[in-house]
Structure 1
Amino acid sequence: MRNILITGAASGIGAATARLFYRHGWQVGLLDINAQALAELAAELGNAWHAELDVTDPAAVKAALAGFCALHGGQLRLLFNSAGILHCGHFEEIELSAHTRIVQINVLGTLNMTHAAFTYLKATPQAQVINMCSASGLYGVPHLASYSASKFAVRALSEALDLEWAKYGIRVGDLMPPFVSTPMLSNQRFKAPVLRRLGVNLEAQAVAQAAWEQAQHSKVHRPISLQFKLLYGFGQLTPAWITRRIMAWLSRD
């Protein structure tokens, strides 16, 4: 069984991942709230299965999973929780509703999908969940406070479920890229200082390639790009106050 169900599939990392797995001969399922872009991608990928979905709606999530997995004997080899949103700015200047929406999509959306997928994953040999985390899940990033907090939650979920679901043969891990050149990031009106200092040097295709590598050899955390691999490794070896100093400098106005 080689099938993958992708949230946030209509653009950016989700779309790049869908194209890559399709080229490798996988059966691809596409989910996104943007129905038009989703239909266009599905047509490009040989009329791939797709459904408009708001991942914050638990009932709709269950229906989408049931619909896709019914075509594959009730099995799901890989769930890729790629849906997510970002809002850069000073914490107090961002509307509370925007902070809430970040948590709803990035955290609750991932919870909804993963919880509903369990039955299908359990029925599938070598089943996996890949969660879209971020370098922002390593240390809290100023001007991306709620986004960073959401990625800490995703990181913890990946760690916990990889241990808890090991008895079922289900691997759970996450991808941790730094800033990626996607419409979500380019459409931000506020450019965080950390963005100016580190730059945006990663394309969606590089993250898709990491998802492919994760599907072959699962890790709990998969840092992406040489820059962040070095920072991630450094952070595992040094006291937290040093990481804090580095983040303070990177985020200085």
Structure 2
Amino acid sequence: MCYLIIVLAVIAVLAGALFFFLDNKILYKDLKGKHVVVTGGSSGIGKAAAMEAARLGAHVTIIGRDVGKLNAAVSEISSQAKEGQKIQHASLDLTSDYESVQKCLSTLETDIGSIFMLINSAGMCICGQFETMKVQDIKKLIDLNYFGTAYPTYYVLSGMKKRNEGLIVFVSSEASLIGIYGYSAYSAGKWAVRGLAEAIFMELVGTNVRLTLAFPPDTDTPGFANEELTKPKETKLISGSAGLSSPEYVGRKIVHDSLNGKLYSVFGLSGKLMTILYCGAVESVGQVLLQIFTMGLLRAIMVPVMLSFHKIVRDGLKEKQSETLKNK
């Protein structure tokens, strides 16, 4: 009985401290007339997010490299816009250098207005065992998945803090929460994005600038189709167990989670479980209490899941060894 009282007292003190120290979140419910910039906006999740922003009344700029795809996407996004909204594109290689990113975004702000919302959706995945991948592909993944998010964010942060308003979205991946066979180089870049986001969360304390870190599951996009071309059998068996989401659902949810002040945008049961287990930022009293009371149970649930992934890899190794023996 005494132990229970002590536990309850500790929880009460912790809850009180959380209420005191956590910021009162400013929720941005309206994008009307705001300038929203979406990297990787010519297809997939980025295009879906841009279409939702346009539907909510924003001026939208999408960024990508392929001018043909950008033009086609602008036409689609414009179908969601009303008279007076500006929908445009900018062709930019986000991996080139920071000066090019700075020049492009500065021009966009001069033409349309300050960037109120930045959605970092540019990214790609090349699968394979780390030692068999091309070194240039490893560098390409890190350049786009990490620096393609870090550079635009670096540019907008000072302006948003000065104006004391703004929203930033990092589109990471569930592969940034646990390491998976075949995702080694991809996970490295996305874990870096997650680490950057959780550090910036803390740097935004005391401001009305908000950052949302999204963990999309496998999503039916052109990028996912390309990813499938390099994905080992073991990786397909592991990642395929969670199903395939639509880009429209993922993009729309990311926009609204950001507007609602959520630190994490998660999808499905597996995403929720892994976010509770592995994410470090403090979002709310409810989140912390849920972690305290369920961490042991959730870890117990995830261990068999992880062991099943290891079994898939071991079975794949046996199959390869058997094929090698047959071919001798």
Distance, in Å, in 2 between the alignment partners of 1:209 and 1:45 is 13
Secondary structure of the residue that 1:78 maps to in structure 2?
strand
The farther-off stretch of 227-236 and 138-147 is 227-236
Secondary structure of the residue that 1:49 maps to in structure 2?
strand
Which structure has greater helix proportion?
A: 2
The farther-off stretch of 237-246 and 131-140 is 237-246
Q: 1:22 aligns with which of 40, 54, 63?
A: 54
Greater Rg over alpha carbons, structure = 2
Distance, in Å, in 2 between the alignment partners of 1:83 and 1:142 is 23
CA contact (8 A) 1:162 1:170 kept: no
CA contact (8 A) 1:179 1:195 kept: no
TM-score by length of 2: 0.70
Q: 2:236 aligns with which of 195, 218, 228?
A: 195
> Are the structure 2 counterparts of residues 251 and 232 from structure 1 closer, same or farther at C-alpha, using a change threshold of 3 Å?
farther
The farther-off stretch of 82-91 and 206-215 is 206-215
CA contact (8 A) 2:65 2:93 kept: yes
> Are the structure 2 counterparts of residues 121 and 251 from structure 1 closer, same or farther at C-alpha, using a change threshold of 3 Å?
farther
Residues 205-240 of structure 1, C-alpha deviations (whole Å, 9 max, x = no match)? 121122122232122222112342244446662459
Match of 2:250 in 1: 207
Distance, in Å, in 1 between the alignment partners of 2:133 and 2:211 is 32
Match of 1:2 in 2: 34
Q: 1:44 aligns with which of 76, 87, 98?
A: 76
Shift of 1:108: 1.2
Is 1:105 matched with 2:137? Answer: no
Match of 1:13 in 2: 45
Give RMSD over aligned pairs. Answer: 2.3
Shift of 1:246: 5.0
Distance, in Å, in 2 between the alignment partners of 1:148 and 1:178 is 13
Is 1:137 matched with 2:176? Answer: yes
Shift of 1:191: 2.9
The farther-off stretch of 196-205 and 156-165 is 196-205
Give the counterpart letter for 1:15 in structure 2.
K
Shift of 1:195: 2.9
Q: 1:181 aligns with which of 217, 220, 231?
A: 220
CA contact (8 A) 1:202 1:225 kept: no
Distance, in Å, in 2 between the alignment partners of 1:123 and 1:72 is 18
> Are the structure 2 counterparts of residues 152 and 142 from structure 1 closer, same or farther at C-alpha, using a change threshold of 3 Å?
same
Give the counterpart letter for 2:110 in structure 1.
A
Distance, in Å, in 1 between the alignment partners of 2:195 and 2:249 is 24
Residues 6-40 of structure 1, C-alpha deviations (whole Å, 9 max, x = no match)? 00111111111111111121111110011110012
Match of 1:60 in 2: 100
Aligned residue pairs total 252
Shift of 1:244: 4.8
Shift of 1:120: 2.9
Give the counterpart letter for 2:231 in structure 1.
K
